Each structure stands twice: as structure tokens, then as C-alpha cells.
Amino acid sequence: MRRNTLLRASRRIAARARDAWRRTWRKGVRIKSPEEIAIMRQAGRINALALQAVREAIRPGVSTAELDAIAEEVIRRHGAKPAFKGYPGPYPFPATITVCINEELVHGIPREDRIIQEGDIVSVDCGTIYKGFVADAAFTVGVGNISPLARKLLQVTEEALYKGIQQARPGRYTGDISAAIQAHVEKHGFHVVREYTGHGIGRWMHEDPAVPNFGEPGTGERLRPGMVLALEPMVLVGTPETEVLEDEWTVVSADGSLTAHFEHTVAVTEFGPQILTKL
């Protein structure tokens, strides 16, 4: 009985969270000029520096709040702003990064009392605003000795991201990206999330088109030069189902199994995909 009550409460919370998220979504595909993509590349480099600093700080005994402070310092030192802090939702997101551990998939709120342990896998997502444009990226890393299953999960999820990026070319479709991610993940026995997607990005964090992590080739939005996409495989070991915790932000696997998340901001160009969130 208690499990059913908690599940119903989680679904209500998830519905409120998704409704709030959808209200922030900017409709209509926005093509970026070469000059705008150059600014997004600068935003992406700052974002990559912040994530690099966080990655170097991840170790047993560190709190997720400490990681958040590191990311914010790097972003502001480079003349940029955190894209996540204050982002609309059930209530404004209170931090610069999201940090998720083990069964937590996305949107985890950093806390002083959330301490990283040996054997954890830690996902960090970060967004940066520079000169009015947003860059967004994420990684998952193991802490010390992690299980063979966790190592495989991290490898497959990152590989799936690059499988998707390879499809981000003019004349192809968002469904080609989605299908490539899904096929690689499911070939290895894992699951892709259904409720949360990749997305267009530019002056707003979430723009059209949506880019799910599952789909059919040749479907969805046709890709054109100047489109910029945040591609982000979100992968679960045991089930594609998720729940939302009582903080109304943190998304976890419904069965408590491990999860992983990798993301890059990618420009579609005549010369192929250009990753904007690398150093």
C-alpha cells in the first residue's frame, strides 16, 4: 500500500515538473548565423572549463554542494552566467549544476549533506549563458573502483552520444539521431528514458526541435545548417521508467538501478556536426 501511495505521489510531482518545464520551451526552430554559433562556441568552452574543474574535484568525501560552487566560480570568472540557476520549474532551480549519483538520472539538486562515496557513479550537467546564448553539456564518471556493470553503462552511454552526433548532418532528421542512440543503447541491454529529451538550444535553454533518445530513422525535423542541438542520452540499467523525488526536481530510475547521462551542444553545419562544448 505504501509503495502504491508513493508511486502516485511521484507521478503527480513528475506531472507538475514536466508541465513547468514545457512552459519554458520555445516553439519554432531557430536557425543560428555563423556569428551566433561562434558566440555559442565561446559559451561552450566556458561550460567545458567548468565541467573540467568539477570532474577534477570529484572524489570520496566531497559534497555535491562543493562541486556546485566550483562550477559557478569558473563560469562567473569567465564573464558568463549559470544557465540553470533560477531556471523555472516547480520552483526556480537553486544551483549552477545538477549532480546525480547512482540511481539519480537528471536534475539532482546539489546539497551540503550529499557526500560522494567510493564506488559511486556521478552525473554532472551544466549550462552556461554567454552574451545571451546558452551552452549545455553533461558527463558521468566513476569514483574509484566501480562495478563492471557501471563501467559498461558509462561506456555505452558515451558511445551512444557520439553515435547520435554522427547523424547531426544537413538533410538527415532528428529521428536519425534518436534511432542511432536507441539502437546502440538497447543493443547492450540497457534502456533509454522516454519522458526527457534532447532539444534545440540557443538564446533559450530549450528550443524546438525535441530530440528524443528513441525513434525511427527518417522521421521528425529535417536538419538544416545553423540548427544547434543539445543531444543527451539518458540511460538506465533496469527499466526505462522514472520517478521524481519529493524535491520536485530529482529524477530517479523507478527500480533503483544505475543510470548515466552524457551531453554535448552540437551545431549542424555544411561540413558536418560541430561540437561546441569541448575545450
CATH number at residue 65: 3.90.230.10
171, pLDDT greater than 90: yes
Q: How many CB atoms lie within 10 A of CB 50?
A: 28
**In this predicted structure, what is the pLDDT of residue 35?**
98
**In this predicted structure, what is the pLDDT of residue 9?**
54
167, pLDDT greater than 70: yes
Domain tally for the chain? 1
- Cα distances from 273 to residues 38, 40, 126, 257, in angstroms, run 14, 14, 21, 33
Q: For residue 85, give the nearest of 114, 125, 140, 58 by alpha carbon.
A: 125
pTM (two decimals): 0.94
23, pLDDT greater than 90: no
What is the domain range of residue 145? 2-275
What whole-number distance in Å separates Cα of residue 66 and Cα of residue 82? 16
DSSP strand pairing (191-192 vs 234-236): antiparallel
Per-residue pLDDT, averaged over 211-223, amounts to: 98
100-155: pLDDT as tens digits: 999 999 999 999 999 999 999 999 999 999 999 999 999 999 999 999 999 999 99
Q: Give the 3-state secondary structure of 214-248.
A: CCCCCCCCECCCCCEEEECCEEECCCCCEEECCCC
Collapsing DSSP to helix, strand or coil, 67 comes out as helix
Per-residue pLDDT, averaged over 153-175, amounts to: 98
66-114: pLDDT as tens digits: 999 999 999 999 999 999 999 999 999 999 999 999 999 999 999 999 9
Give me 165's grid cell.
Answer: 552526433
CA angle 105, 84, 215 (to 5 degrees): 45
**In this predicted structure, what is the pLDDT of residue 173?**
98
Which phi and psi angles does 19 have, rounded to 5°? -60, -45
**In this predicted structure, what is the pLDDT of residue 26?**
87
Collapsing DSSP to helix, strand or coil, 167 comes out as coil
**In this predicted structure, what is the pLDDT of residue 24?**
76
178-200: pLDDT as tens digits: 999 999 999 999 999 999 999 99
25, pLDDT greater than 90: no
**In this predicted structure, what is the pLDDT of residue 1?**
46
DSSP letter assigned to residue 33? P
Taking only Cα atoms into account, the Rg of the chain, rounded to an integer number of angstroms, comes to 18
Per-residue pLDDT, averaged over 56-74, amounts to: 98
Which phi and psi angles does 7 have, rounded to 5°? -65, -45
**In this predicted structure, what is the pLDDT of residue 10?**
59
